[in-house]
Structure 1
Amino acid sequence: MDGLADRTGLTRRAARISADAMVALGLLEREGDTYRNGETAAAFLAGRTHGDLRPFLRFWDKISYPAWCGLAEALGSGPSQEIFELDDELQKVASAGIEAILAGPAAAFPQTFDFSPHRRLLDVGGGTGSWSIAVARKYPHVEATVLELPAVVDIAREHVAAAGLASRIDVVAGDAMAGALPPGYDVFLLANLIHYWSPEGNRALLQRVRSAAEANSRLLLADFWTNPTHTEPLHAALMAGEFAVHVRDGDVYSVDEVRGWLSETGWRCVEHAPLVGPQSLIVAEAA
């Protein structure tokens, strides 16, 4: 117990209380005064597997929890700070945390949609580039471009370079909500982007993508899509609160709502497929 207290900077009493609580939750196992990681902690919190969620805990600690402390204000008049306004250090925390919690859906994505007929992917608002990286690893013939805000571009370039894919994945600065998108792509990905915007903003975004799309192009929308009442899946429904404390217009949307927007903006919905957990994929083609 003394060693645990020293490593965590807690008093011996506080370390014992915290450790015993984590034993009760199943995160730790205890034998006498010795504590060790339980199965869940070893899998997700020890940094020894691909499912390392420690970056997401840092996101919770530094960004999400402080934002939730302002829930009443956010619901009444909007968040005091939007996630787009983070400083450079917190942006790195946010990018790493979001990538970690979405690692499962990103890995499932190229298994769910067949990229064999496609050659060029535009990953709109592609974050760290993790979804494009997953595609490029499975489909060696696909080239991708990650379009991101300037604050995220360097982070994405580092991730792409670390994956050894800089020759096939380009990262460019741009605002998906302003100006025309670059032409020459036959598949467009909007992964966890729709939930940042209002219905009006999303219709404008989908129209902007359609203007850049050629015949037979595909549009892929990955997000926390819900049922018509926004109450299922459970975790997807609860994400509405997370978006509300971070983004003024953030919300969750139903598959039916998105189908309507697609129809209004020149797309035809052709498939809705599960990814991992509460995330799913809507596939549309240029009408």
Structure 2
Amino acid sequence: MDELSWEEWQSLCEMMNGFIKTQVLSSACDLAVFDVIERGATVASLPSQLEINEHGCRVLLLGLKQLKLVEVDEAGVIKNAPLARRCLLRGSAQSMVPFVRLNDKIQHRACLHFTQALREGRNAGLDEFPGDAPTLYGRLAKDPSLERLFHEGMGAYTRLSPRMMAVKEFADVSNLLDVGGGDGTNAIRLCERYPSLKVTLIDLPSVIEKARANIEAHGLSDRVTCQAVDMFADPWPHGCDGVIFSHVLEIFSPETIGLLYKKTRAYLDSQRGGQLFVWSLMCDPDEAGGLQSVKSSLYFVTVASGQGMAYPLRDHEAWLRDAGFDVVATYDARTIDHCALVAR
């Protein structure tokens, strides 16, 4: 048998050991390492500043230097790399620390059950979270601190998804229905981008109070209305000429997505027309990646709902046609495993 090539060995090692990158990053964020370094730190002073022992700090720095998140000069002074300064300081405008924590405390923790989920045909990662609700979101509703962590993380993730803001058809909408709008991050960004736009946000009762507080903090209470609505069981508020699903549909099975598209069609017909906007994780056309779509699909199957995935664009187009929509625009963001659709 031929020996493994160096490239094959490196590829295999990356697959086997990639979780180490996640762990180093997560621990660094838990310890606020980047904030401490930004205030001034050296190799000698960092252990006491972090209140950890010298050997553990040495190993942590080994990992952070390998990730190219910090640099150490000849005098032992530690500096944050530009990416860390931009996205890993807790108070920065583009901080991804909340999503790093969501990734570690919820997604990674739950995805350790992936094999069990495949064998049992259920979202076995739910075993990590107390309660009897059949989805992660139902269980988070019973744990306010974990639910807050989830929505803070998703808010950070959404803020760094700029492609959705480039959908020019938003300018044609006067009142947008944000279905499953979460903590209001999307509604806030859209209102800031389109000064005449109003938004009606619907989500579960445990989420709505967070959305109201977030929207009030941004001074947008006069333009964003929040209502506690079950997107499946309840009628949707009237008066909107646009509907948006942002990071919602990929959680569900094809049958459920089809039902939501048909409900949207009936709703827009009752409003005398309008546009549907979809912003979703999507895998490559050949279902061979990318990495973010794979990771999210594992998360959906293992814990979120036990179904769903980052479906390819063609699936959404087919479901929309079946519901009576014409797709009028697509915005390809496959570099971040996303796509935006506009349908009428």
Kindly indicate whether residue 272 of structure 2 is the aligned counterpart of residue 228 of structure 1. Answer: no
TM-score (norm 1): 0.92
Residues 22-41 of structure 1, C-alpha deviations (whole Å, 9 max, x = no match):
11210011124332211111
Aligned residue in 2 for 1:26: 68
Tell me, in whole angstroms, the C-alpha distance in 1 between the residues paired with 2:48 and 2:107.
27
Aligned residue in 1 for 2:336: 277
Does the 8 Å CA contact 2:248/2:280 hold for their aligned counterparts? yes
Tell me, in whole angstroms, the C-alpha distance in 1 between the residues paired with 2:199 and 2:327.
23
Q: Secondary structure of 2:196's match?
A: coil
Match of residue 250, structure 2, among 188, 195, 198? 195
Tell me, in whole angstroms, the C-alpha distance in 1 between the residues paired with 2:53 and 2:108.
24
Match of residue 102, structure 1, among 150, 158, 170? 158
Match of residue 168, structure 1, among 210, 223, 228? 223
Match of residue 296, structure 2, among 239, 257, 265? 239
After TM superposition, which residue ranges in structure 1, 4 or more long, deviate above 6 angstroms? none
CA RMSD of aligned residues (A): 1.8
**1:29-178 aligned within 5 A:** 29-31=71-73, 32-77=75-120, 78-80=122-124, 81=126, 82-84=135-137, 85-86=139-140, 87-105=143-161, 107-178=162-233
Letter of the 2:123 partner, please give it: P
Does the 8 Å CA contact 2:88/2:97 hold for their aligned counterparts? yes
Residues 203-251 of structure 1, C-alpha deviations (whole Å, 9 max, x = no match):
1111111111134410001011223332244422442112222221131
Tell me, in whole angstroms, the C-alpha distance in 2 between the residues paired with 1:76 and 1:211.
38
Letter of the 2:210 partner, please give it: I
TM-score (norm 2): 0.78
Tell me, in whole angstroms, the C-alpha distance in 2 between the residues paired with 1:117 and 1:63.
38
Aligned residue in 1 for 2:47: 5
Letter of the 2:307 partner, please give it: D
Tell me, in whole angstroms, the C-alpha distance in 2 between the residues paired with 1:18 and 1:89.
27
1:89 shift after superposition:
0.7
Q: Secondary structure of 2:45's match?
A: helix
217-226 or 41-50, which moves further after superposition? Answer: 41-50
1:109 shift after superposition:
2.3
Q: Percent identity?
A: 24
Does the 8 Å CA contact 1:181/1:209 hold for their aligned counterparts? no
Q: Whose Rg is larger?
A: 2
Runs of at least 5 residues in structure 1 that lack an aligned partner in the other structure: none
137-146 or 70-79, which moves further after superposition? Answer: 70-79
Does the 8 Å CA contact 2:158/2:185 hold for their aligned counterparts? no
Tell me, in whole angstroms, the C-alpha distance in 1 between the residues paired with 2:102 and 2:292.
18
Does the 8 Å CA contact 1:210/1:265 hold for their aligned counterparts? yes
Letter of the 1:76 partner, please give it: R
Change (3 A) 1:150 1:7: farther
Does the 8 Å CA contact 1:225/1:236 hold for their aligned counterparts? yes
Letter of the 1:204 partner, please give it: L
Which structure: greater helix fraction? Answer: 2
Tell me, in whole angstroms, the C-alpha distance in 1 between the residues paired with 2:171 and 2:278.
18
Q: Secondary structure of 1:102's match?
A: helix
Tell me, in whole angstroms, the C-alpha distance in 1 between the residues paired with 2:285 and 2:235.
32
1:2 shift after superposition:
5.2
Tell me, in whole angstroms, the C-alpha distance in 2 between the residues paired with 1:265 and 1:104.
31
122-131 or 6-15, which moves further after superposition? Answer: 6-15
Residues 101-125 of structure 1, C-alpha deviations (whole Å, 9 max, x = no match):
22122x4323323333221100000
1:48 shift after superposition:
4.8
Aligned residue in 1 for 2:13: none
Does the 8 Å CA contact 2:254/2:308 hold for their aligned counterparts? no
Letter of the 1:113 partner, please give it: K
Letter of the 1:165 partner, please give it: L
